[in-house]
Chain A
Amino acid sequence: SQKIEQNSEALNIQEGKTATLTCNYTNYSPAYLQWYRQDPGRGPVFLLLIRENEKEKRKERLKVTFDTTLKQSLFHITASQPADSATYLCAMTRSASKIIFGSGTRLSIRP
């Protein structure tokens, strides 16, 4: 069955360092990979979308890569800040319907 895995349930890093989150998928060929931020008790907030024919996408301090050979996406936050602490979800989809979400990585940035 289609599966998307975020290999770290939790990640703690020092402020100012780069946080790198990993997302792997199996039994699927997504047209898009998306990353969302979710704060406790809130709905997900869209951050970045990367298409299967794109290798990398950036937005301010965020960078996403998509490797269809490895079936993997990496999500980087550079110059991390305590305000970046949240749960980050990766999700895959072939169209605007049926997003399959990973279980999330809870990121904590310590001052």
Chain B
Amino acid sequence: GAVVSQHPSWVICKSGTSVKIECRSLDFQATTMFWYRQFPKQSLMLMATSNEGSKATYEQGVEKDKFLINHASLTLSTLTVTSAHPEDSSFYICSGVRGGSDEQYFGPGTRLTVT
């Protein structure tokens, strides 16, 4: 069990447009979800932590107005990259934590390319 999906798996968009990425926990309720960004040959960098029904907590240096996070239910969190620019091109990965557990279950990632 503990499967997390992401949609879409890849997306190409034009500079200035907004893109929404969905993260779903398929077989468990995720009280907390995390969003990471990974640049080529680099490690995962935590962007924000979202708890169901409350505002996300952003890491230092991450613009909350640019990366909008909504965690409307225990199985769905969304990340919207607003007014995307080429430097936002990256691999975005979400993870979910099952209530009462210490383990994070990661999604397969979404490759965003901004042209």
Binding site for B on A (CB under 8 A): 32, 36, 41-46, 49, 89, 93, 95-104
Contacts and interface: CB of A to CB of B under 8 A. Distances in A.
A49 B103 contact: yes
Contact of B102 (A43, A45, A96, A104): A96
Interface in B32-67: 32, 34, 42-46, 49
A33 to B, nearest CB: 12
Interface of B: 4, 6, 32, 34, 42-46, 49, 91, 93, 95, 97, 101-109, 111
Contacts of A102: 43
Contact of B104 (A41, A42, A96, A100): A96
B65 to A, nearest CB: 22
Contacts, number: 52
A71 B56 CA distance: 32
Please indicate which of the listed interface residues B91, B107, B108 has the most CB atoms of chain A within 10 Å of its own CB: B108
Contacts of A103: 42-43
Given A41-B109, A44-B44, A99 B102 contact: no
21 contacts: A42-B109, A43-B95, A43-B107, A43-B108, A44-B93, A44-B106, A45-B106, A46-B105, A89-B43, A95-B102, A96-B32, A96-B97, A96-B102, A97-B34, A97-B49, A97-B97, A99-B46, A99-B104, A101-B44, A102-B43, A103-B42
A24 B65 CA distance: 35
A45 B3 CA distance: 11
B106 A98 contact: no
Nearest to A99: B104
Contacts of A96: 32, 97, 101-104
A60 to B, nearest CB: 18
A25 to B, nearest CB: 13
B44 A89 contact: yes
A109 B97 CA distance: 32
Contacts of B34: 97, 99
